[in-house]
Homo-oligomer: A and B are copies of this chain.
Amino acid sequence: MKLKTGKISPKDLEKYVFKLVNYSEKTLLVPPGIGMDAAAVYLEGETLVITTDPITGGEKRIGWLSVHVNANDIAVMGAEPKWFLVSLLLPPRSNSKRIGEIMKEIKKALGEVGATLVGGHTEVTPGIRQPIVVATMMGVAHGNKLTPSSNCREGDYLLMTKTAGIEGTVILATDFYEELKDKVSRETLKNAQRFAEKISVVKEAVLIREYANAMHDPTEGGLVNGLWEMAVASGKGVRVQGSRIPIAKETDEICSILGLDPLKLISSGSLLASVPPENIETVMERLKIKNVRGTIIGRVTRDPGQKLIFLNGEWKKLCSVRDELWRFLEDKEK
């Protein structure tokens, strides 16, 4: 059924939203429902970690992504994702079934990260061209130890999991499939699309959080920006060995053809961690046992004026960069 502007009807709410709520979840004192203004949860002397992030860029898997990008932000703080709220904005004349599809993706992803839907808002919004999902995730810190990006210490090893530009690789292989299919093998593109399955870093964050000082989820601007952000947040310098950063062959192939730098490509899926020397062996071991690729790519240094990356035979200044994906999209529009 075509939806009208404004909040969705109580009938559609029941049909597409509420039936996905786990009402037996014990921490949820006040669950979502018709006319309910807010959710309530009980916390027993704990540190609550909260984040919000929108998914605005595409039609595919937005519900699923909205859970994972927010869960990543909670996990890198050293916390466990627990409670999820979502504002779902649909363009005029959307079909009500679209709500059901997005909510099903959300339900699936919540199961994957172990969190619960506690509230939200669903409406048809004039003036938007594509569905927009804005999510909030809350989590509880494990033993009250936090690992924010600002916690890098001098002498720490900088470690990353998996490979550079995972999220960007999925987006390029999906949204520009037609353009790429004559230049890249079908198999490479299919593999690249399946990188979507690697977007969560919750598993590896849980594995190593006890042993890390700081963790970070590099998103826009890729690894380069993520490393710069950790250094800025911590007021430290870094020395990064750029050539050690692993790049999947699918990412490499697609980026070469499109003329993009994979180190500056949106990188959800890779976890950055700042690990003290005494723990680095344990961390590498724990990742290896669980088959998560971990690579040491640099060190944290004292001087915040020295944020350096070694690339193509020379030390260069690390700085805040714009994502390659945005540059690419804008070049295409010209």
Contacts and interface: CB of A to CB of B under 8 A. Distances in A.
A74 interface: yes
B36 A149 contact: yes
A35 B216 contact: yes
Contact of A4 (B54, B83, B322): B322
A38 B74 contact: yes
B150 A36 contact: yes
B30 A51 contact: no
Interface stretch (A129-137, A168-176, A275-283): A129-137
A76 B37 contact: yes
Most interface-central of A43, A48, A132, A139 (chain B CB within 10 A): A48
Contact of A85 (B35, B38, B50): B50
Interface stretch (A107-115, A119-127, A247-255): A119-127
A296 interface: no
A56 B123 contact: yes
A6 B220 contact: yes
A5 B326 contact: yes
Interface residues of A, number: 81
A330 interface: yes
Most interface-central of A33, A89, A148 (chain B CB within 10 A): A148
Interface stretch (A158-166, A182-190, A227-235, A297-305): A227-235
Interface in A48-72: 48-54, 56-57, 72
A118 interface: yes
Majority SS of interface residues in chain A? mixed
B73 A38 contact: yes
Nearest to A6: B326
Given A40-B141, A118-B50, A229-B35, A326 B87 contact: no
A2 to B, nearest CB: 12
A121 B53 contact: yes
A227 B47 CA distance: 37
Contacts of A329: 5, 126
Contacts of A76: 37-38
B220 A35 contact: no
Given A30-B77, A149-B35, A233-B34, A136 B56 contact: no
Nearest to A76: B37
Interface string A134-152: 1010110100001011100
A96 to B, nearest CB: 15
A194 B38 CA distance: 27
A311 interface: no
26 contacts: A5-B326, A9-B320, A10-B232, A30-B49, A35-B150, A37-B149, A38-B76, A39-B49, A40-B48, A40-B49, A40-B141, A40-B148, A41-B48, A41-B50, A43-B45, A43-B48, A44-B45, A50-B119, A50-B138, A53-B87, A54-B134, A57-B126, A89-B134, A125-B132, A127-B130, A128-B132
